[in-house]
Structure 1
């Protein structure tokens, strides 16, 4: 089992799980369903990544994380 660093936040009534390792996201009505959706997205991505050699696999930049978190802060204003 691979481990990924994930940020969870509530947005517009849904939970969003963001993987800091690859920028993939999952969304659900609760934290568990958001994480499950993220796990499915990661599994799907990795299955394609194994057969396609030209897919870029970046980690999330600090600027992208800041933008993700800024959306949460602006929604609470």
Structure 2
């Protein structure tokens, strides 16, 4: 079994100033390794698209197959 070299993380931006500073520093330190990012609630947006009555589920199934995410 080959492990994917990518992972997805969903982070909540802290409101407290000191925590926000540490959060910002942590993100800056991994920036060279980021391949994608999204602001806002991209996960909810994708769920809404997939749940739309006109959405062809074969698109999501094919994408999951390509990423090795069978059954997700």
More helix by share: 2
Normalised to the residue count of structure 2, the TM-score between the two structures is 0.33
Structure with more relative contact order (C-alpha pairs < 8 Å, separation 6 or more): 1
More strand by share: 1
Task: Determine which structure has more spread, i.e. the larger CA radius of gyration.
Answer: 2
